[in-house]
Amino acid sequence: MNYYMLFKMPTWSIVLIIVTVVLIAAIVVLYILGKKMQKKQEQQEEYLAANRQTVSMLIIDKKRVKFKDAGFPQSVIDQTPKMSRGMKVPVVKAKVGPQIVTLIADEKIFDTIPVKKEVKAIISGMYIQGVKTIHGKVELPPPKKKNAFKRAVEKLQEKAGAKPLK
């Protein structure tokens, strides 16, 4: 290709080529980073599974607070990435034996943890992975109330005979 011909190309086609190359490069980089993060997550899951233990504990309180305000020891706060320190995490205060400890709950089970009840919890370090009540079943929280807009949409869908959205 002649250099003179390259400069005679319309500018929009040159811009289009550059944007396409940048997008392809971004997709490749995201794919590689995704693979690395997936491997890292699998290793963490294996580590958590290897260090699991079942403990009987009395749940005192549970809430979502910023990581740095949760009451963890300074050594734990120093080990967490700086971006994670400002994030809200599900924190559970529990009495395990004679000690009162602060634990992090899994997001999936946080709502099912009963407050002021004794439970058997599956923990790994300071991370709660599962909960079973000692007396009775795990109580699910009441379903969240729907706002007026969602109720109106459901009524319209019901009249139209469509399946409701979840």
Is 33 strand, coil or helix?
A: helix
Judged against a pLDDT cut of 80, whether residue 71 lies above it is answered with yes
Distance of alpha carbon 118 from alpha carbon 134, whole angstroms: 6
pTM for this one? 0.61
Distance of alpha carbon 80 from alpha carbon 106, whole angstroms: 17
pLDDT at 112: 87
Please state the rounded mean pLDDT for residues 78-83: 86
pLDDT per residue over 28-63, tens digit each? 999 999 999 999 999 988 988 888 999 999 999 999
Q: Is the backbone of residue 43 left (phi > 0), alpha (psi -120 to 50) or beta?
A: alpha
Mean pLDDT of the chain, nearest integer: 84
CB 60 within 8 A of CB 100: yes
pLDDT at 28: 97
